[in-house]
Chain A
Amino acid sequence: MTDDKDVLRDVWFGRIPTCFTLYQDEITEREAEPYYLLLPRISYLTLVTDKVKKHFQKVMRQEEVSEIWFEYEGTPLKWHYPIGLLFDLHASNTALPWSITVHFKNFPEKDLLHCHSKDVIEAHFMACIKEADALKHKSQVINEMQKKDHKQLWMGLQNDKFEQFWAINRKLMEYPPEDNGFRYIPFRIYQATTERPFIQKLFRPIASGGQLHTLGDLLKDVCPSAISPEDGEQKTQVMIHGIEPMLETPIQWLSEHMSYPDNFLHISIIPRPTD
């Protein structure tokens, strides 16, 4: 049996092989070779693509370069969503490597947030952690931490330091002994097919009778279309970090072990491949 702590490591070190290609309409002085990179599932596009930017800027004229943005099959990729979520939602059942197109012009204002510096990513990351703790602990744990602890969470993510990150994050995964879990579970459910950005609601990990709520319970409550009737074909996949956890898994366990570093469970509901 795998130790629970191994799950934390597996989640942290998950990688997606990606091929970055420059958009054909970008003006270059020489031919732009594609750039290959293993992307960390738990990180953010603009945090880990400095090398990609440098690679393509080498073949472009200075004046043609403005803010970089990424697109997959026509869909602008939101840098403020974790990479693993973007892949699971848009490309999980396609052949690897993941082919991402790089743009330097015509920034799609309506679809994407700007990301002028790493500070923007840090602010977004910390805001998500704070929101998650507001749900889990009424913000008590995050507010009791010092600024340097907050900084350590960010530095751990930025520098891919698992131990450094979890030294602080483990406190965010604790709960009072008299409770059996968090107050509410921080989760977001995404579906590529709907108009809404995501579903996020209040959901308790423990039922009034004391039983642990499961992933299936969560879905039944907030997204019943994701679970098809008893028999019959399951038309959708419920995916977290590239796998389909069993619906019987307690949601409290999932929250503690399979959240992203921002402390949210980002869940993708995607069509099941037919072959």
Chain B
Amino acid sequence: VDVLLKAVGDTPIMKTKKWAVERTRTIQGLVDFIKKFLKLVASEQLFIYVNQSFAPSPDQEVGTLYECFGSDGKLVLHYCKTQAWG
């Protein structure tokens, strides 16, 4: 599944934005990965949003989100250190 990561606000931007992720990877797994990549402390919060409208549950699989909310062959996810869309 192709995932495109977009930073929100003053959250650091990932140098590589496009990633191929296994369908069964969870949102939590993705969060941990982004945190490592951005060298954030584990205790810092990171919020992920789909369609700039909802934050999926940490145990949700990327594959399911892609099937339901993907477009143009990829799933666009916005990430933010603070709550953006509630």
Is the Cβ of B68 less than 8 Å from the Cβ of A127? no
- Cβ of B22 within 8 Å of any chain A Cβ, yes or no, is no
Is the Cβ of B55 less than 8 Å from the Cβ of A139? no
A86 to B42, CA, bound (A): 31
A164 → chain B closest CB, angstroms: 20
A91 → chain B closest CB, angstroms: 21
A47 → chain B closest CB, angstroms: 16
A201 to B70, CA, bound (A): 11
The one of A139, A150, A198 in contact with B51, judged by C-beta atoms closer than 8 angstroms, is: A139
Is the Cβ of A202 less than 8 Å from the Cβ of B68? yes
A196 CB contacts on chain B under 8 angstroms: 61
Find residues 142-159 in chain A having any chain B CB closer than 8 Å to their own CB.
Answer: 142-143, 150
Find residues 185-207 in chain A having any chain B CB closer than 8 Å to their own CB.
Answer: 196-202
The one of B50, B64, B86 in contact with A200, judged by C-beta atoms closer than 8 angstroms, is: B64
A113 CB contacts on chain B under 8 angstroms: 57-59
Is the Cβ of A127 less than 8 Å from the Cβ of B56? yes
Is the Cβ of B67 less than 8 Å from the Cβ of A127? no
- Cβ of A126 within 8 Å of any chain B Cβ, yes or no, is yes
- Cβ of A83 within 8 Å of any chain B Cβ, yes or no, is no
Tally of contacts, chain A with chain B, CB under 8 A? 47
B22 → chain A closest CB, angstroms: 13
Is the Cβ of B61 less than 8 Å from the Cβ of A134? no
- Cβ of B53 within 8 Å of any chain A Cβ, yes or no, is yes
Is the Cβ of A131 less than 8 Å from the Cβ of B50? yes
Is the Cβ of A134 less than 8 Å from the Cβ of B51? yes
Is the Cβ of A131 less than 8 Å from the Cβ of B64? no
A130 CB contacts on chain B under 8 angstroms: 53-54, 86
- Cβ of B69 within 8 Å of any chain A Cβ, yes or no, is yes
If A130-B53, A131-B56, A150-B86 are given as contacts, then 5 extra A-B residue pairs at C-beta distance below 8 Å, sorted by A number, are: A113-B58, A139-B51, A139-B54, A184-B68, A197-B61
User: Taking beta carbons and an 8 Å cutoff, which residues of A are in contact with B?
Assistant: 78, 80, 113, 123-124, 126-128, 130-131, 134-135, 139, 142-143, 150, 184, 196-202
Question: Which 9 A-B pairs give the minimum distances between C-beta atoms?
Answer: A130-B54, A139-B53, A131-B54, A200-B64, A127-B55, A127-B54, A134-B53, A201-B67, A130-B53
Of the A-B pairs whose beta carbons lie under 8 Å apart in the complex, a sample of 29, sorted by A's number, is: A80-B57, A80-B59, A113-B57, A113-B58, A113-B59, A123-B55, A126-B86, A127-B54, A127-B55, A128-B57, A130-B53, A130-B86, A131-B54, A131-B56, A134-B53, A134-B69, A142-B53, A143-B53, A150-B86, A196-B61, A197-B60, A197-B61, A199-B64, A200-B64, A200-B67, A200-B68, A201-B64, A201-B68, A202-B67
